[in-house]
Structures are given as C-alpha cells and as structure tokens.
Amino acid sequence: MRAGDLAGEAELRAPGPSAIARLWRFSEDIIPFYRGNPAGGRFVVTVLDDRGQVRSLDPRLDIRNHSPDGFAWGYPGSGPARLALAILCDALGDDERATQL
C-alpha cells in the first residue's frame, strides 16, 4: 500500500498480508485503521479491522446524536464530536468508557 493509495481513492480496499505487515512495522497498535474521505459532500469513514476486513464506521446514534449531518472533521463542532465518539466506541469496545472520555 502506497501513501498515495490512501489519499486519493474513494474506496478503501483491504490490503493484502504484505501491506498489513508494512503497516505493522511502524506500530503494532495501528489496527484498527480508520480512514475518512469527504466523498460527494459527505464524510465517509471506513475501518480496516484486525481481521483485515473493511467496513463502515457505525455512527453510534444509539448513544448520542451529536450531528444531524453525520461525520466531519477539520473544525470544532458537532460533526467532529460525532466522529470522535464513534471512533472511541469502536476502538475501545466499551461504550460506557467511550462516553466518559
């Protein structure tokens, strides 16, 4: 996986074992890997999990609906707050702890 692959493509493909191994050289804690893409005016976030599966990040509306417009980043507001909560819930696997942070 080249750096340009992450920056320029609209869809994240699951990397093969050699690409995951290259990522792990930087840090063994890199998985899960979150990738955001502002596609067509909407912010789309995908997750590469520890099994090498790619999936959409759950916005966790069941916990709190920070933003009616969905995920966003680059400014202090409701869209980034929603994204932060969703990433914390996903990464920690503990909704109560995620909401405390």
Answer for the pair 71, 79: CB distance below 8 angstroms, yes or no.
Answer: yes
Question: 71 is in which domain, residue-wise?
Answer: 3-100
What is the predicted pLDDT for the residue at 45?
Answer: 93
Q: How many domains does the chain have?
A: 1
pTM to 2 decimal places: 0.67
- R_g of the chain computed on alpha carbons: 14
pLDDT tens figures, 33-53? 899 988 777 899 999 887 888
SS3 33: strand
